[in-house]
A and B are shown apart, each in its own frame.
Chain A
Amino acid sequence: MENRVNECRTRLGWSQQRLADQLGVSRQTIISIERGRFDPSLPLAFRLARIFETTLEELFLPDGNP
């Protein structure tokens, strides 16, 4: 699944480690999410959306639907 996590994180000026610490997950998890290789669980996706003050629909895009 495509996502805008990298874009949102960069906009905030946060490092991957800082975002990982905020979410309580490993930095590798953030790397994998940003590369589109790991789809986060629903609770984690909601926490991401809350941190970036956006919605799930705006943060995560189904494959082939930009």
Chain B
Amino acid sequence: MARQQTRTRWGQAKFGSGRIPAVLIAMPGGLLLGAAGGWLAVGTGLAGSSPLLGFAVFTACLAMPAMALMYVLVVDRSTVEGAVDRPEESVEGKWYDKAASGSFTDLVLGLGVLAAVAAFVPADLAADLKLVLPAILAVCFASFGIRYLLLRLRG
């Protein structure tokens, strides 16, 4: 007989032979990853003239996304309250697929047009990759988010 699965709001993660709340792994793990990023920033001189402040800023900025990443990696979704057993057969899965393929098309079109325009820009006008890459990522997020919301609104 299958063991009754306990479902909680934030789910659980496998830990040894048992289970513990996923956030108990994700939060300290994310904080450690963020601190590692802060330490790397100080070590490479990115933190500026105040290493302590630079360490704190980098750690604070990296900790939240690192916690989210750790949570996604460790959580057993079958223990999350309200999570459906077959997400791939749910309509949300179809919306996700359509939004993802649409945003990929947007990305290819956008980058294609930008590449063509860039060919006519003088060579000395260089773009900073540290700005361009996050901007592309933001456009991808926006494209996906808007498409998904529209599909959801249409039902």
Q: Residues of A at under 8 Å CB distance from B?
A: 20, 23-26, 28-29, 31-33, 35, 37-38, 40-41, 43-44
Inter-chain contacts of A40 with B (CB < 8 A): 89
Q: Which residue of A lies closest to B83 (CB)?
A: A26
Main SS class of interface, B: helix
Q: Which residue of B lies closest to A39 (CB)?
A: B94
- A37 and B94 CA atoms in complex are apart in Å by 11
- A32 with B155: CB separation less than 8 A: yes
Write the nearest CB–CB distance from B86 to chain A, whole angstroms.
Answer: 4
- A24 with B91: CB separation less than 8 A: no
Given contacts A32-B91, A38-B91, contact A25 B86 (CB under 8 A): yes
Q: Which residue of B lies closest to A31 (CB)?
A: B155
Inter-chain contacts of A24 with B (CB < 8 A): 84-86, 89
- A31 and B152 CA atoms in complex are apart in Å by 12
A-B contact pairs, 11 of them (CB 8 A): A23-B86, A23-B89, A24-B86, A24-B89, A25-B84, A26-B91, A32-B91, A33-B91, A35-B155, A41-B89, A44-B89
